[in-house]
């Protein structure tokens, strides 16, 4: 079946339907990872976005439930060059098209993804619509701009609705869930931590009632500037307990500390971004997925610890007076290199060094 892709600036592509028949829209972003399409499709940070995969063949090793990064597919749509209908892998139990149909997601294939990627890189991220129902540009344009006007609370859409306990014998960590990936939880659990995953809008008082040893501000979708109420609660937590932020959590922490953010031209999405640790001089290859970044106007007392070597954007910071630090990139990878997963052990070590003898409350 034929399908069409229309961009808000008027650019238009035709191709073949991928996945479920229908119409979907969102901000189009490109991801440069060569593998890891299962993890990308199930990353909550892509809520509200159509993902363009730059690698030309997607799905050749199929899908299985062991490599997913959340409870659902969160992207709005998928754009690829070619798909593999007969994947070959001993763990595979599905192909890409069937996987998308099963999860009610619409995509498009057989288009010039190189041309589309260059267009976004030169003109910036923009909204687009994929449809197998509407073929005329006029209809696609009308449907797209109707959808763009819809205001969504993306973090609320992906966050847990009530607290979840993951048992462990080590330090108790409250995870503020803005769209956390499973692999973040896996690393902390494997380090022995007890995890309490709480909704994004949990208050400071509710967080502290759990008597946590540490707090994790997770990754997630959308513009951090839209989350003013969450930022207020993070401000109240600062200095109370060791805190670690990842991606959106890093941006929210920066805003709570008095910094500001800006929307990037086309963001960082992929598994091959070089980042320099400014304290050690070591360069690590990282996985990234974000469209916003902290500005270089951080207040005194905050040390920039990591820089992106492609564009010099801030990739990490540390509050020198407290056990508070954060990273813009994803140390849990999935997909991507595991160069920086040692960060989770550093977080656990900072907790152990700051633990106090306060009694814990019982978690129900």
Question: What CATH number does residue 287 fall under?
Answer: 3.40.50.880
What confidence tens digit (pLDDT) does each residue in 69-102 have? Answer: 999 999 999 999 999 989 988 989 899 999 999 9
In a domain, residue 359? The reply is: no
Task: Give residue 364's pLDDT band: very low, low, confident or very high (50, 70, 90).
Answer: very low
pLDDT at 360 over 60: no
In a domain, residue 289? The reply is: yes
97, 133: one domain = yes
335, 227: one domain = yes
In a domain, residue 320? The reply is: yes
Mean pLDDT confidence for 138-143: 91
118, 174: one domain = no
In a domain, residue 360? The reply is: no
Q: Which residue out of 247, 269, 273, 315 is catalytically annotated?
A: 247
Supply the range of the domain harboring residue 51: 2-150
Strand bridging mode 12-19 / 324-327: unpaired
Last residue of a domain, one of 119, 150, 181: 150
In a domain, residue 362? The reply is: no
Q: Which residue out of 27, 233, 315, 332 is catalytically annotated?
A: 332
What confidence tens digit (pLDDT) does each residue in 118-140 have? Answer: 999 999 999 999 999 987 888 99
Residues sharing a CB contact under 8 Å with residue 7, sequence separation 6 or more, in sequence order: 28, 119, 126, 127, 128
In the prediction, which pLDDT does 276 show?
97
172, 135: one domain = no
Following CA atoms 341, 345, 348, 349 in sequence, which dihedral angle do they give, to the nearest 10 degrees?
Answer: -140
45, 187: one domain = no
In the prediction, which pLDDT does 363 show?
42
In the prediction, which pLDDT does 357 show?
44
Handedness of CA 186, 188, 189, 191 (dihedral sign): positive
Place of tokens 């990739």: 315
pLDDT at 343 over 60: yes
| Whether residue 247 lies in the annotated active site | yes
DSSP string, 23-71: EEEEEEEEE--SS-HHHHHT-GGGTTEEEEE-SSEE-TT-B-TTS-SSS
| Whether residue 250 lies in the annotated active site | no
In a domain, residue 205? The reply is: yes
In the prediction, which pLDDT does 334 show?
83
50 beta partners: 28, 77
What confidence tens digit (pLDDT) does each residue in 161-185 have? Answer: 999 999 999 999 999 999 999 999 9
Helix count and strand count (H, E) for the chain: 10, 19
279, 159: one domain = yes
Q: How confident is the prediction for the chain on average, in pLDDT? A: 93
78, 8: one domain = yes
Q: Are 126 and 9 in contact (CB under 8 A)?
A: yes
| Whether residue 84 lies in the annotated active site | no
Q: Which residue out of 119, 269, 306, 330 is catalytically annotated?
A: 330
Q: Are 276 and 309 in contact (CB under 8 A)?
A: yes
Place of tokens 């040390």: 303
pLDDT at 338 over 90: no
pLDDT at 115 over 80: yes
In the prediction, which pLDDT does 356 show?
53
45, 190: one domain = no
Q: Which of 42, 18, 38, 35 is nearest to 97 (CA)?
A: 18
Last residue of a domain, one of 150, 168, 194: 150
pLDDT at 52 over 60: yes
Percent of the chain with pLDDT over 70: 97
In the prediction, which pLDDT does 147 show?
87
Q: Are 174 and 363 in contact (CB under 8 A)?
A: no
What confidence tens digit (pLDDT) does each residue in 218-233 have? Answer: 999 999 999 999 999 9
pLDDT at 362 over 60: no
CATH number at residue 72: 3.50.30.20
Least confident span in 63-67, 70-74, 103-107: 63-67
Last residue of a domain, one of 150, 178, 213: 150
Residues sharing a CB contact under 8 Å with residue 206, sequence separation 6 or more, in sequence order: 198
In a domain, residue 210? The reply is: yes
Q: What's the token pair of residue 224?
A: 């951090």
112, 226: one domain = no
In a domain, residue 306? The reply is: yes
Following CA atoms 159, 155, 251, 171 in sequence, which dihedral angle do they give, to the nearest 10 degrees?
Answer: -10
Structural domain total, the chain: 2
Which residue did the predictor score with more confidence, 361 or 339?
A: 339
Q: What's the token pair of residue 252?
A: 């929210």
Least confident span in 216-225, 316-325, 348-357: 348-357
184, 331: one domain = yes
pLDDT at 205 over 50: yes
Cα 37 off chain centre by: 14
280, 182: one domain = yes
pLDDT at 216 over 70: yes
Cα 140 off chain centre by: 28
132, 166: one domain = no
């Amino acid at each position: 079946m034929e399908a069409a892709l229309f961009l808000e600036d008027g650019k238009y592509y035709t191709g073949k339907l991928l996945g479920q028949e229908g119409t979907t829209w969102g901000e189009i972003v490109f991801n440069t990872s060569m593998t890891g399409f299962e993890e990308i499709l199930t990353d909550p940070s892509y809520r509200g976005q159509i993902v363009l995969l730059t690698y030309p063949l997607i799905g050749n090793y199929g899908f299985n439930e062991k490599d997913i990064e959340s409870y659902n597919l969160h992207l709005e749509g998928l754009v690829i060059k070619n798909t593999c209908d007969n994947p070959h892998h001993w763990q595979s139990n599905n192909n890409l098209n069937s996987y998308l149909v099963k999860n009610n997601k619409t995509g498009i294939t057989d288009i010039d993804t190189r041309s589309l990627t260059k267009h976004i890189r030169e003109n910036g991220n923009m909204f687009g619509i994929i449809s197998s129902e509407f073929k005329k540009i006029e209809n696609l344009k009308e449907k797209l701009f109707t959808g763009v006007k819809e205001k969504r609370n993306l973090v609320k859409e992906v966050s847990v609705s009530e607290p979840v306990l993951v048992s462990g014998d080590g330090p108790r960590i409250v995870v503020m869930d803005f769209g956390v990936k499973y692999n973040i939880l896996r690393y902390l659990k494997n380090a022995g931590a007890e995890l309490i995953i709480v909704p994004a809008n949990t208050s400071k008082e509710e967080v502290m009632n759990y008597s946590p040893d540490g707090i994790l501000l997770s990754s997630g979708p959308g513009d951090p500037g839209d989350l003013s109420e969450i930022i207020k609660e993070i401000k109240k937590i600062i200095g109370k307990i060791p805190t670690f932020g990842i991606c959106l959590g890093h941006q929210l922490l920066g805003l709570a500390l008095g910094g500001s953010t800006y929307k990037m031209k086309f963001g960082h999405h992929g598994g091959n971004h070089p980042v320099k640790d400014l304290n050690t001089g070591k360069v690590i290859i990282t996985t990234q997925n974000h469209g916003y970044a902290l500005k270089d106007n951080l207040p005194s007392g905050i040390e920039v610890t990591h820089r992106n070597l492609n564009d010099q954007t801030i990739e990490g910071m540390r509050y020198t007076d407290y056990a508070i630090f954060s990273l813009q990139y994803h140390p849990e990878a999935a997909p991507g290199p595991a160069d920086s997963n040692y960060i989770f052990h550093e977080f656990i070590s900072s907790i152990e060094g700051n633990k106090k003898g306060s009694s814990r409350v019982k978690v129900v």
